[in-house]
A and B are shown apart, each in its own frame.
Chain A
Amino acid sequence: MEGRPLKDANFSGIWSPETIEAIQEKADLGRYQIRGQATKRRDLPSFDDLVFVPAGLSRMPLEGYRERCDTKVTIGEGRVKRPLVLDRPIMIAGMSFGALSVNAKRALGRAATKCGISTCTGDGGMHPEERANSAKLVYQYLPSRYGLTPYDMRKADMIEVVCGQGAKPGTGGVLLGTKVSAEVARMRDLPEGVDQRTPSRHPDWMGADDLPVKIQQIREAVDYEVPVSVKVGASRIADDIKLIARAGVDAIVFDGMEGGTAASPTIQLDHTGIPTIAAIAEAAESLRDMGLKEDIKLIVGGGIRNGADAAKCIALGADVVYIGTAALIALGCHRPIHVEDYHRMGTTPYECNHCHTGLCPVGITTQYPKLIERLDPDEGAERVANFLNAMTMEIQLFARACGKNRVHDLDGNDMRSLTIEASMMTGVPMVGLNGRVPAWRTY
């Protein structure tokens, strides 16, 4: 933004400085822009459009710290030999070794283990350090099939078949060459330093009709031991959920358009998919329509920042929330240390979205040994575990305040919408109407 007037500038709403910069960057590069993190749109419907309406006299609250408030979730109960038991309704989202450094993987694994929840391999295969540090590990089965072996599938605690993600539904993955180190290249069978792209479709099945056969193959491979889920990006979510449910899975994972990424086309981050809050309502309704809401767990991600967002997801029908970016921020992403390195990339802490460059100043999204060393896995694990504890307490706080002794008993009636849009999307009653249908003409 060098040369940009500092104040009192008469910027255009259409040709804003950001738009001008984007056009000039494309003119320079000859391709679309790529970056990490997530969409920066400020106009999306959000969890902030909902509030809880806790107990008063019409309901009794539970005593905080005294009365139990269960948080446990079991995926695949009664369906597989070794269901995945999560002590809290939170999972660390799939983030690949390659996108993340090995120390980030170690830290997330240790934190999740402390908190009795899972981490997920992401693309690129199962790194032995990740398996060693994470007691509950979900293994992603993706179009790329990088590093895939039946041996690693059998080591997994759940298999997640990936058909898309919220940051870039409908497209494959990207990992720029600066992150395709010798080890990453070996694990993915790629030339070192190549700008890696992956296909958007699986190599050996096409549509919803083939999916049940694929799921059966995976179940055979893991001998019906562990649960199997399918992940999509939230776009045509109501129909997608029905097609996945019909294929006979134990859980469905999706993240909304706010979902994080290590590298995606910028234009896609802002213009594809639907917001998480809208998607959950559609997804839960699809499962209810099919009578499968109790059998198939709904794992929801995309822009979840705290226990309030998580509790709202659960009240709208999610069984588990799936967090990527928030876990990375707890780990130290955007931390104002090594600030000169942020500046060298042309950014600052709090606005950084440079995960794609491989130059992460805090050692999280990099493969350079000197930068990786900056992240101490034990310290990182403690910070993430602290955050997960805080988030769990926050979820319980809302549940107790609403008089629920299981966080999963939260429902839409425990909330009100602050906006008409949120109310229409989620079915959560609008504040101030007390369930009335507005009758404008009475005054």
Chain B
Amino acid sequence: MSGKAILTLDSNKLSVHEVNLAIRKAAKDGIKTVELLNPMARHNLGVAITDPIHLVYKGDVGYYAVSLSDQVSAEIHGSAGWGIGDNLIRGEIVVHGNAATAAAPSLRGGTVVVKGSVGPRSAIGLKSGELIVGGGAGYMTGFFMQKGRIVICGDTGDAIGDSMYQGAIYVGGRIGSVGSGCRFVDIAGPERDELFATLERYKIKAPKAFQKVESDRSLWHFDKKEFEVWKDVL
């Protein structure tokens, strides 16, 4: 244990590999926080960090920041490129700006919060955990979602939740369209209260109300002859 609480790295002066090695070593050494200066939208900063640590990115990050990681919390003081939080197992990532295409892909757990908006194809194959978005979300968000939840305070593009197996998508704004195999369901009182409490915790302005989308299970089995549904998904 170094006993040091904060390690500051200047990503401008290090290679991507050196940044990742330094973060992993810091986490192993029990350092609480790594502050990353000048991320300058470089890709793969913070990959496979699996010991507990808090990461503070002082600027925009590129593709796959805080990806393939476990037990990590992170703040991104800027916007994020594609695949922020890819495959997170446990932890929490807060992006203060926007996130590009494919935010929070295939999360296995934990929470990814984007204060701004996320691009299309976000949270595909979500396996658990949650994506919370202060703004809107692009088309096909929640495609093939398996479990967990997606909360979108703003508007969405088309085909939200297409082919989702399980889990729930909550949308505060206008929905472009829902995907195949989805339906709208009512939200229970305690569920709504918990949603609003979650948004308050992240200081995200809540919409007046949410619509909830979940799987109607029509795509769960190939023996269904509902061609109207299948023709769009196959």
Contact = CB atoms under 8 A, between A and B. Distances in A.
A217 B165 contact: no
B63 A217 contact: yes
Nearest to B167: A189
Contacts, number: 118
Interface stretch (A115-123, A144-152, A388-396, A408-416): A144-152
- Contact residues of A: prevailing secondary structure: loop
Contacts of B60: none
A223 B18 CA distance: 11
Contact of A203 (B20, B108, B121): B121
Interface in B60-108: 62-64, 67-70, 82-83, 86-87, 89, 101-102, 105-106, 108
A31 to B, nearest CB: 6
Nearest to B17: A220
A207 to B, nearest CB: 12
B220 A194 contact: yes
A188 to B, nearest CB: 8
B221 interface: yes
A216 B16 contact: yes
Contacts of A29: 223, 225
A191 interface: yes
A148 B87 contact: yes
Given A149-B89, A221-B68, A194 B165 contact: yes
A224 interface: yes
A205 B102 contact: yes
Contact of B44 (A204, A205, A217, A224): A217
Given A213-B64, A216-B16, A221 B125 contact: no
A62 interface: no
Contacts of B50: 150-151
A268 B156 CA distance: 34
A48 interface: no
B63 A149 contact: no
A197 B219 CA distance: 9
Contacts of B48: 150, 153-154, 220-223
Nearest to B50: A150
Contacts of A214: 64
Most buried by A among B87, B105, B121: B87
A190 interface: yes
B222 A224 contact: no
A30 interface: yes
B225 A30 contact: yes
A210 B220 contact: no
Interface string A423-439: 00000000000000000
Contacts of A224: 17
Nearest to B19: A220
A176 B64 CA distance: 32
Contacts of A222: 48
Interface in B186-234: 219-223, 225, 227, 230, 233
Contacts of A145: 87, 105-106, 125, 127
B124 A203 contact: yes
A189 B44 contact: no
Interface string A335-362: 0000000000000000000000000000
A217 B43 CA distance: 8
A329 interface: no
Nearest to B222: A195
Contacts of B16: 216, 220
A177 interface: yes
B82 A204 contact: yes
B146 A204 contact: no
A150 B67 CA distance: 9
Given A153-B68, A191-B220, A203 B125 contact: yes
B105 A34 contact: no
A190 B125 contact: no
Contacts of B43: 213, 216-217
Contacts of B221: 177, 194-195
A189 B144 contact: no
B117 interface: no
Contacts of B89: 149-150
B47 A197 contact: no
A64 interface: no
A148 B106 contact: yes
A146 B85 CA distance: 16
B51 to A, nearest CB: 11
B143 interface: yes
A198 B127 CA distance: 13
11 contacts: A145-B125, A148-B106, A150-B89, A153-B48, A177-B220, A189-B146, A190-B165, A204-B86, A216-B43, A216-B44, A217-B43
Listed from nearest, the 3 A-B pairs whose CB atoms lie closest are A203-B124, A30-B225, A204-B83
